[in-house]
């Protein structure tokens, strides 16, 4: 009985259309696309290469510095990449800058430093690793009424690992605002700048 009911139900179903149905798929045209990313990356690489190559003050040459500060790398200067972290470079530059100013001011009988850092630009040229001794070259690049620009090179094992420039502003300790450099110090700085190959020909300028 169950079989006959099932058979009747199956036979009562409408016949299945076994004709093949052809579906034509029209592919959507692919619009022409040009990836701009490689072009942008190439431009950035080219610009960066030009910036890194341009070295009008010879900051990447250790023989262009008359003042060198010796700094030791520290184990804590390393990061997860196994090289000296970029933050440590700024500390090395700070050590060089302080040593340079202390040496310069000591020769004039004035050791109080009323300079603050207004700008720091670092070009990282090569990886640096622990341990070792770093020589920080420091030189004066430009001198204004209330500011001066200094240049730096970080050297280890005969390789220039970074170059940098700093803008230092002379401030009034009481007001904490920029102020003109004292005439005696200004003359000292001009004399120092004149000793540089790129300096003015006359210290009285």
- CATH class, domain 55-194, is alpha beta
pLDDT at 114: 86
Helices (H), 107-157: none
Q: Which residue's structure tokens are 């090289």?
A: 83
Bridge-based pairing state of the strands 133-143 and 67-72: antiparallel
Contact between 44 and 38 under an 8 Å Cβ cutoff? The reply is no
172 Cβ contact partners less than 8 Å away, ≥ 6 residues apart: 114, 178, 179
pLDDT of the chain, 205 residues: tens digit per residue: 555 554 455 555 555 555 655 666 666 565 555 454 554 455 445 444 544 556 889 999 999 999 999 999 999 999 999 999 999 999 999 999 999 998 888 877 766 668 899 999 999 999 999 999 999 999 999 999 999 999 999 999 999 999 999 999 999 999 999 999 888 888 889 999 999 887 776 554 4
Quote the DSSP letter at residue 14: P
- The separation between CA 136 and the C-alpha centre of its own chain, rounded to angstroms, equals 17
pLDDT at 6: 47
CA quadruple 170, 176, 178, 181: dihedral positive or negative?
negative
- The separation between CA 68 and the C-alpha centre of its own chain, rounded to angstroms, equals 22
Report the predicted TM-score, pTM, of the whole model to 2 decimal places: 0.71
| C-alpha separations of 22 from 16, 19, 112, 168 in Å | 17, 9, 91, 79
């Amino acid at each position: 009985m169950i079989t006959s009911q099932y058979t009747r139900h199956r036979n009562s179903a409408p016949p299945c259309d076994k004709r093949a149905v052809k579906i034509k798929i029209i592919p959507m045209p692919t619009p022409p696309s040009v990836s701009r990313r490689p072009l942008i990356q190439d431009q950035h690489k080219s610009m960066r290469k030009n910036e890194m190559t341009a070295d009008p003050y010879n900051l990447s040459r250790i023989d262009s510095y008359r003042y060198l500060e010796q700094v030791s790398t520290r184990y804590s200067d390393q990061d997860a990449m196994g090289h000296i972290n970029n933050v440590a470079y700024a500390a090395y530059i700070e050590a060089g800058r302080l040593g340079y100013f202390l040496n310069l001011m000591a020769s004039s009988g004035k050791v109080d430093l009323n300079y603050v850092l207004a700008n720091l630009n670092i070009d990282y040229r090569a990886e640096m690793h622990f341990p070792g001794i770093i020589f920080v070259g420091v030189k004066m690049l430009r001198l204004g009424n209330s500011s001066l620009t200094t240049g730096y090179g970080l050297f280890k094992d005969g390789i220039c690992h970074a170059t940098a420039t700093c803008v230092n502003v002379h401030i009034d300790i009481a007001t904490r605002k920029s102020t003109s450099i004292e005439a005696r110090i200004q003359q000292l700085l001009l004399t120092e700048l004149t000793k540089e190959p790129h300096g003015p020909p006359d210290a009285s300028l």
